[in-house]
Amino acid sequence: MADYDRAIQLEPNNAMAYHNRGTFKSALDDKQSAIQDYQKAADLYKQQGDTGFWYQQAVENVKKLSEP
């Protein structure tokens, strides 16, 4: 996770770093933090005009993790 933290620190608009860190946090069962990272990734993808596969994945992951 330190690598993703560092990547985000160096490049705060790196949507993929947020996405990957969300996946890592989800695997650790840190749902709330994972949701935040996936949401940030989705926001960045959208801002950057990328509403394709990775954007859709981030949105779906937020939905899945938000379910009770």
Number of domains observed in the structure of the chain: 1
Host domain of residue 28: 2-66
Reported as a single tens digit per residue, the pLDDT across 16-30 is 999 999 999 999 999
Q: Percent of the chain at pLDDT above 90?
A: 97
Report the 3 state secondary structure along the chain. Answer: CHHHHHHHHHCCCCHHHHHHHHHHHHHCCCHHHHHHHHHHHHHHHHHCCCCCHHHHHHHHHHHHHHCC
Retrieve residue 52's tokens: 């394709």
Backbone φ/ψ region at 20: left (φ over 0), alpha (ψ -120 to 50), beta = alpha
CATH label of the domain that carries residue 54: 1.25.40.10
- Supply the pLDDT for residue 49: 97
